[in-house]
Amino acid sequence: PRNFCGCPGLTLAMRRVLSSVPQRVVAVGRQVSRFEEALVSGGDDRSALGEQLTNKYNVSPWPLGPSALFRGSCTCNPPTQRAYEAAEKVWEAGASYGTLMAGIRRRLAAAFELEDGTGVVLCPSGSDAEYLPVAVAQALAPGSPIGNVVTQHKEIGAGSAPAAGLEYFSRLTPLGSSEVEPNSKVVPDVDVRRFVVPARDDHGRRANPHHDDHEYSDFDGVLLVHTVVGGKTGLRDEVYYGDDGNKNGKVLPVVDACQGRFTNEELKGWLEKKAMVLVTGSKFYRGPPFSGAVFVPKLLMDELTSKQPPSMLKHLSEFLCREDLPESLGSWRAELPSKNENFGLALRWEAALAEIEASVPYSATIAEAWARDVSNLVDQHFSETCSLFEANRCIVSLRLRPDAESPFFDAKDLRTIYDWMALDMSDAIPSLKDDDEHRLAAKQPGAIGQPVEVSKTTGVLRLALGVDSFDHFANNPADALTHDYQLLLKLNLLAKHFRTLKKLNNKGF
Percentage of the chain with pLDDT > 90?
76
Mean pLDDT within 143-165: 94
What value does the mean pLDDT take over residues 161-183? 94
Query: Which pLDDT band holds residue 20 (cuts at 50, 70, 90)?
Result: very low
Any residues with CB less than 8 A from the CB of 106 and at least 6 apart, and which? none
Q: What is the pTM of this model?
A: 0.92
- What mean pLDDT do residues 18-27 have? 35
Q: How long, in residues, is the chain? A: 509
Q: Is the pLDDT of residue 11 over 80?
A: no
Residue 413 CB coordination number (10 Å)? 17
Rounded distance, CA 368 to CA 24, Å?
Answer: 42
pLDDT band at 479 (very low <50, low <70, confident <90, very high): very high
Q: How far apart are CA 226 and CA 223, in angstroms?
A: 10
Q: What percent of the chain has pLDDT over 70?
A: 92
In 3D space, the residue among 489, 468, 360, 493 whose CA is nearest the CA of residue 72 turns out to be 468
Q: Phi and psi (nearest 5°) for 149?
A: -95, 115
Angle (CA) 175-180-183 rounded to 5° is 115
Mean pLDDT of all residues in 33-39: 94
Going by pLDDT thresholds of 50, 70 and 90, the confidence category of residue 438 is very high
For residues 140 and 53, give the distance between their C-alpha atoms in angstroms, rounded to a whole number.
44
pLDDT higher for 50 or 332? 332
> Alpha helix locations (H) across 19-80?
21-28, 34-40
**Burial grade of 45 (CB within 10 A; 0-12, 13-18, 19 or more):** middle
**Residue 82 in this model has a pLDDT that exceeds 60:** yes
**Do the beta carbons of residue 88 and residue 465 sit within 8 Å?**
no
295 compared with 26, residue with greater pLDDT = 295
- Asked if the peptide bond before residue 284 counts as cis, ω within 30 degrees of 0, the response is no
Angle at 337 between CA 333 and CA 340, to 5 degrees: 100
49-58, 108-117, 129-138, 152-161, range with the lowest pLDDT = 49-58
SS3 percent helix, strand, coil of the chain, rounded to 5, is 40, 15, 45
Locate the DSSP E strands across 247-372: 251-256, 276-280, 292-296
Could you tell me which of 91, 237, 226 has the C-alpha nearest to residue 164? Answer: 226
Beta bridge partners of 400: 386
State pLDDT tens for residues 183-200: 999 999 898 999 999 999
Q: What is the mean pLDDT of residues 388-411?
A: 96
Provide the pLDDT for residue 247: 47
CA triple 360-362-364, angle to 5 deg: 135
Residue 171 contacts residue 11 (beta carbons within 8 Å)? no
Neighbours of 51 (CB within 10 A): 10
Q: 219-269 pLDDT, tens per residue?
A: 889 999 999 999 999 999 999 887 654 444 589 999 999 999 999 999 999
d(CA 449, CA 176): 30
- Mean pLDDT of all residues in 387-404: 96
Nearest to 298 by CA among 325, 271, 279, 278: 271
Instruction: Please determine, for residue 1, whether its predicted confidence score (pLDDT) is greater than 80.
Output: no
Q: Are 399 and 458 in contact (CB under 8 A)?
A: yes
CA distance 396 to 410: 17
pLDDT of residue 373: 98
Looking at residue 325, the DSSP 8-state letter turns out to be S
Residue 199 burial (10 A CB sphere; 0-12, 13-18, 19+): buried
Work out the mean pLDDT of the chain and round it to a whole number.
Answer: 90
Q: Which residue intervals of 122-251 are DSSP H helices?
A: 131-140, 160-164
| In contact, 282 and 289? CB cutoff 8 Å | yes
* 414 Cα distance to chain centroid: 20
Question: Mean pLDDT, to the nearest integer, of 39-43?
Answer: 94
